[in-house]
């Protein structure tokens, strides 16, 4: 019922597809805003919970307990006043403003239940995955860690391989190759060493000494997107851990026993992880006339709108935004995703009220990498009167950890975060520091 003379206002339907760093952040911010047009917000994701993607290498290594670190979408949506709907993007109908979702799949991955959701505003934030560059054998013989499921599956394979080398005296080494020495691959190489060191403290001595890990990068140096000083320091630290680093020699093919590089060099490896390249999901390629780049990323305007439809926005890894004066789109990082989510949470209500969109401007705040519990390196952007520059050691590790804390503050709010931090501390006291079973 409404008061006499009042007019019922229909909420604007905002559908956000993808509950990663950008989508979950945006849904949380929009639902918590005060004033502006009424919004009916629906967040869509194929999983029931979220683990911060920059920490998936810890899941893969077994040093992160996903049961305590995950965000349940249903519980989070109820707490913040929006709707969660499970599903994978299958199709887009721009004329009728609706998306088709694969809500339930069988064991072969085929949809058994589909759903159509209408929207007034659609935000696509479905992330990205590694790009195999059509290299022969990658799909058949390599593992990926682009999602929580993939990271956990790799950890199972890693633990099984550890058991095999412990049980078989004729198999003295754990051979592992990581392809792609960006942040994910480099951090995974350090974290696996750290995990085996931790496992040694639970009655499995000498595990790390039996690891033969090779990190392969097609570019002339590891961490090619970061300053050279960070790359050099991280490479030296990996060398001290016994990691063999090969650069400037792309992978030509992969088979069950290892990898062959373009130079002809052979790298034997029982476990192989592909963490190279960035590509948005194939569903975006030509989806209902939206413009994409060669990596399937949606081309967007400075206001984060798709170029063909002002009612559709794209954020994070699946969006290609090239800043003025730049030759390349913004990098696929959590830092970019969170800044874009914060920007759209502010400007979207204004847009719905008839105001023009404010262009998004990315602020580079630096980049950090952590090599397990051994060391951390990075560069900080200029912040106020602080000049920024190269950092390493404990301060770099502290800064790296603070990135995750900032994410928790945005998602959970200042009142719940102290409780979460306290629970994390108790978990560290009560449970092993590495997954053992």
For residue 252, is pLDDT > 80?
yes
Q: State pTM to two decimals.
A: 0.91
Burial 168-195 (b: 16+ CB within 10 A, else e): eeeeeebbbbbbbbbbbbbbbbbbbbbb
Query: Of 277, 296, 314, which residue is a domain's last?
Result: 277
What strands, in cross-sheet order, belong to the sheet with 174-179?
Answer: 244-247, 211-217, 174-179, 271-274
3-state secondary structure of 386: strand
Query: Of 307, 341, 360, which residue is a domain's last?
Result: 360
Using an 8 Å Cβ cutoff, are 57 and 182 in contact? no
Would 137 be classed as within a structural domain?
yes
pLDDT tens, position by position, 214-234: 999 999 999 998 889 999 999
CA 206 – CA 196 distance, rounded (Å) = 8
Largest CA distance in the chain: 86
134 and 95 in a common domain: no
Q: Average pLDDT in the 78-89 region?
A: 95
For 46-101, give the secondary structure using H, E and C: CCCEECCHHHHHHHHHCCCCHHHHCEEHHHHHHHHCCEEEECEEEEEECCCCEEEE
Nearest alpha-carbon partner for 85 in 70, 98, 72, 103: 103
pLDDT in the model for residue 436: 67
Would 243 be classed as within a structural domain?
yes
pLDDT tens, position by position, 346-372: 999 999 999 999 999 999 888 889 998
30 and 76 in a common domain: yes
284 and 237 in a common domain: no
For 254, the domain range is 130-277
CA 434 – CA 202 distance, rounded (Å) = 9
Using an 8 Å Cβ cutoff, are 41 and 120 in contact? no
Backbone angles phi, psi at 175, to 5 degrees: -100, 130
CA 27 – CA 6 distance, rounded (Å) = 29
pLDDT in the model for residue 167: 81
Domain count, the chain: 2
Using an 8 Å Cβ cutoff, are 377 and 391 in contact? yes
């Amino acid at each position: 019922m409404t008061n006499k003379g009042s007019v019922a206002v229909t909420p604007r339907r905002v559908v956000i597809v993808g509950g990663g760093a950008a989508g979950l952040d945006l849904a949380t911010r929009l639902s918590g805003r005060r004033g502006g047009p009424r919004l009916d917000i629906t967040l869509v994701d194929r999983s029931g919970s979220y683990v911060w993607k920059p920490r998936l290498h810890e899941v893969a290594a077994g040093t992160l307990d996903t049961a305590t670190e995950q965000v349940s979408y249903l519980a989070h949506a109820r707490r913040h006043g929006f709707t969660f709907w499970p599903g994978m993007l299958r199709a887009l109908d721009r004329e009728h403003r609706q998306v088709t979702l694969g809500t339930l799949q069988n064991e072969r991955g085929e949809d058994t239940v589909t759903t159509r959701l209408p929207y007034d505003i659609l935000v696509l934030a479905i992330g990205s995955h590694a790009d195999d560059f059509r290299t022969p054998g990658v799909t058949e013989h390599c593992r990926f860690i682009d999602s929580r499921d993939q990271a956990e599956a790799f950890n199972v394979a890693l633990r099984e391989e550890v058991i095999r080398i412990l049980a078989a005296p004729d198999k003295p080494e754990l051979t592992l190759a990581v392809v792609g020495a960006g942040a994910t691959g480099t951090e995974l190489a350090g974290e696996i060493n750290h995990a085996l060191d931790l496992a040694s403290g639970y009655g499995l001595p000498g595990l790390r000494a039996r690891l033969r890990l090779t990190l392969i990068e097609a570019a002339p140096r590891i961490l090619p997107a970061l300053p050279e000083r960070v790359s050099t320091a991280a490479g030296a630290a990996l060398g001290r851990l016994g990691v063999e680093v090969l650069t400037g020699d792309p992978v030509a093919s992969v088979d069950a026993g290892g990898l062959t590089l373009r130079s002809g060099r052979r790298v034997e490896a029982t476990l192989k992880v592909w963490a190279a390249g960035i590509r948005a999901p194939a569903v975006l390629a030509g989806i209902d006339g939206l413009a994409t780049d060669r990596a399937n990323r949606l081309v967007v305007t400075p206001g984060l709108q798709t170029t063909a439809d002002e009612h559709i926005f794209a954020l994070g890894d699946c969006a290609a935004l090239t800043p003025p004066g730049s030759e390349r789109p913004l990098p696929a990082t959590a830092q970019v995703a969170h800044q874009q989510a914060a920007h759209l949470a502010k400007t979207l209500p204004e847009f719905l009220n008839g105001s023009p969109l404010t262009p998004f401007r990315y602020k580079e705040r630096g980049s950090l990498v952590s090599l397990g519990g051994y060391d951390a390196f990075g560069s900080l952007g200029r912040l106020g009167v602080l000049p920024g520059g190269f950092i390493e050691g404990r301060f770099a590790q502290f800064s790296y950890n603070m990135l995750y804390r900032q994410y928790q503050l945005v998602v959970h709010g200042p009142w719940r975060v102290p409780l979460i931090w306290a629970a994390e501390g108790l978990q560290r006291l009560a449970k092993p520091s590495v997954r053992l079973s």
